[in-house]
Amino acid sequence: MIKLLIGTNNPGKLREYLEILAGLPLETLTLAQAGISVDPDEPHETFEANALHKARVFARESGLPALADDSGLSVDALQGRPGVYSKRYAGPNASDDDRMYKVLSEIEGTPDERRGAQFVCVSVLALPDGRSVSATGIVRGLIAQHPGERINGFGYDPIFIPEGYAAVFSELPPEVKNSISHRGRAAQALLPEIKQLLKIG
């Protein structure tokens, strides 16, 4: 069975990828299981460049096909911020809540019709020989006036209401969120490429 390294130190991302890839004939490995301790930075100005950088680092370090992504929240009223800086938006040691409340404070008083936003995810599969494939997933929605419950999800999920739903991401069952989320859409778009590149029937 082909081994695939899931290149993330974020437990929420890891859980989502393991759920999304569960149906494939792959042996998925976490960074800890592969003995990988490196945590690549995100030096670039686009999601795709950051995702490619991380996937290539993990593939090189492990000698295995590696899946990595870069993702973030882009808020219309903030001219697309936090965008690629979503993880670092409230400073290097900030918590999920710190980042979430920073966004809420910056658009405080903004009416719902001007609280549009989107989650973006670019997923990249990189092979040790340098080959790679990528796919992008986007989900539109709006920023809630107040955080919802953090039942599932992570990051900005408690303040993002996807189009067509009344609940925030973190209140949706995992199978529902994975079917409509930016990460789920990127992974689903990447699956045919993964199968072809790894020669999975």
pTM of structure = 0.92
Give the mean pLDDT of 81-100: 95
Return the beta strands (E) in the chain as ranges. 2-6, 26-29, 66-75, 116-126, 132-143, 160-162
* Structure-model confidence comparison of residues 42 and 84, the more confident one: 84
Spell out the CATH class of 2-197: alpha beta
- Are the C-beta atoms of residues 55 and 132 closer than 8 Å to each other? yes
**The pLDDT value given to residue 201:** 59
Share of the chain above pLDDT 90, in %: 77
Q: Which range (43-47, 150-154, 172-176) has the least confidence?
A: 150-154
Q: Residue 151 pLDDT more than 70?
A: yes
29-79: pLDDT as tens digits: 999 999 999 889 888 999 999 999 999 999 999 999 999 999 999 999 999
**The pLDDT value given to residue 1:** 82
Q: Where are the alpha helices (DSSP H) in the chain?
A: 11-20, 47-62, 96-106, 174-180, 182-197
> Phi and psi dihedrals of 190, rounded to 5?
-85, -20
Kindly list the domain boundaries of the chain, sorted by start residue: 2-197
CA–chain centroid gap for 25, Å, is 23
29-34 long-range Cβ contacts below 8 angstroms, 24+ apart: 29/3, 29/4, 29/5, 29/62, 29/64, 30/5, 30/6, 31/5, 31/6, 31/7, 31/58, 34/5, 34/62, 34/64
Give the mean pLDDT of 152-175: 95
Give the mean pLDDT of 16-25: 86
The Cα–Cα gap between 12 and 102 comes to 21
Give the mean pLDDT of 185-199: 89
Catalytic residue among 39, 70, 97, 98: 70
Q: Is 96 a catalytic residue?
A: no
